[in-house]
Amino acid sequence: MTGERCDVLALEMDALECLMPMYMALDAVGRIISLGSTLQKILPKSVRQGAFFFDLFTVRRPGRVHSMAQLCPGKGQKVAVALSERGHASFRGAVVPLAGGGVLLNLSFGAGVLEAVRRYALTEADFAPTDLAMEMLYLVEVKSVLTEDLRQKNARLEGEKTQAKAEAQTDPLTGLYNRRALDQALDQFIATQTPFALMHLDLDFFKSVNDTLGHAAGDYVLREVAAALRREMRESDIVARVGGDEFVTVLPGLVAVAKLRAVAQRIIGQILRPMVYEGRPCTVSASIGMTVSNHYTSPKAAEMLADADMALYAAKRAGRGRARMFQSLIPKPA
C-alpha cells in the first residue's frame, strides 16, 4: 500500500477532530491551516491560524529540522516538538505528508500529560478516546495516595522504633540507662579505644529504708540517687542502674585517679544529704569501687566490672561511705 492513496479514508473535519483532537495541518509553506480543539485550547488565540509553524514550534526530533522539506521528507515519521513560547510545553507524535505538499501532525503530551492537564485545565473530552491519558492520570493519583500512605506508615514505624529502642535501654523507675545500654556503651568505648573510668556504686543502709519505711520510700531514694548522679556526671558520661540499689557509671576520657576520687567523694556527699519522704528521713550513704581502662593492656568489660566490684567490696569493708580504686588494692611491686 506504500505510496498509494486511500480515497475511502478522506475524512470530514469533525471526524478528524474526534479521532485526533491534537492534530495540526500545515500547508506547503508551513502555515497552520487547521487545528484540533485541544491544541486550540493551548495555543494563544492570535497565532492559531495562519501563523507559521516554525515561528511557534521548535522541532526537537529529528534533529536539525528547520524547514517543511526536512519536517516531512516524503513519508511519515516520529516527531517531538516544543512550543517556543508559553512555558515550552512539549509534544510528541507523528507527521505525515498531505496532498498538495502540506503535512498533518498528530500530537500527544507524552509523559508531560500531568503538567499539561494542570496548566491548560484539560478535561477528559480533550483527549482522544483511544488515548490512555486518563489511565495515566489515574495511576499517578493512585501512586500519590499510596506513597503518602507509606510515608505516614514509615514515620509511624520510625517513631515506634525510636521509642522501643529508648524503652529497651532505660530503667523505668529512674530513667537511667539499664544493664543492656551499659554493656553497649562499654563495648563501644573499648572498640574505639576510648580511655574511661568505671564506677560501681552501691547504697549503704538501703535495705533498712525499704524494710522500715516501705517500698515507696525505697523507690523515692533510688530516684533521688539517680538525680544526684545525673547532677554530678557530665553529659557524655553513662549512668546506669544495674540492680536493686546498684549503679554503674562510665566516664569517658577521665582516667586521672585524683580527679576520680574527687568525683566519687562529691557523689557520696550528695547522697549523704538528708532525703525526706513524706516527712520521714531516709538515711542512706554510698560506697564506690572504681577502675580505669588504661590500667589494662586489653580492657574487657567483664573483667573491669569484676574489678570495680572488688574495689567496691573493699570500700564497704573499710567502713561505709567510702570510695576505693581497684588499682590501689594491688600491692606495689617491691
Q: Which residues bind another protein (CB under 8 A)?
A: 114, 117-118, 121-125, 134-135, 137-146, 148-150, 153
DSSP letters along 87-98, please?
GG-EEEEEEEE-
Instruction: Pick the closer one to another protein by CB: 160 or 211.
Output: 160
Taken as a whole, the chain contains a residue count of 334
Smallest gap from residue 116 Cβ to another protein (A)? 9
Cell of 44: 494563544
Smallest gap from residue 125 Cβ to another protein (A)? 6
* Catalytic residue from among 171, 245, 307, 309: 245
Instruction: Pick the closer one to another protein by CB: 95 or 128.
Output: 128
Q: Please state the φ and ψ torsions of residue 107, each to the nearest 5 degrees.
A: -110, 160
Question: What's the rounded Cα separation, in Å, for the pair 237 and 225?
Answer: 16
Cβ–Cβ < 8 Å for 13, 34? yes
Smallest gap from residue 124 Cβ to another protein (A)? 5
Smallest gap from residue 122 Cβ to another protein (A)? 7
Smallest gap from residue 142 Cβ to another protein (A)? 4
Beta strand residue intervals within the chain, DSSP E: 23-26, 32-35, 57-61, 77-83, 90-97, 103-108, 196-204, 238-241, 246-252, 275-277, 280-282, 285-292, 323-325
Instruction: Pick the closer one to another protein by CB: 155 or 173.
Output: 155
Instruction: Pick the closer one to another protein by CB: 118 or 273.
Output: 118
Q: Which residues pair with 90 in a beta bridge?
A: 82
DSSP letters along 262-278, please?
HHHHHHHHHHHS-EEET
Smallest gap from residue 37 Cβ to another protein (A)? 15
Neighbour count for residue 334 (Cβ, 10 Å): 3
Instruction: Pick the closer one to another protein by CB: 86 or 143.
Output: 143
Cβ–Cβ < 8 Å for 271, 228? yes
The single-letter code of the amino acid at 108 is: S
What separation in angstroms does the CA of 323 have from each of 83, 164, 204, 272?
84, 36, 12, 14
Instruction: Pick the closer one to another protein by CB: 9 or 121.
Output: 121
Active site residue 245: yes
Catalytic residues: 245
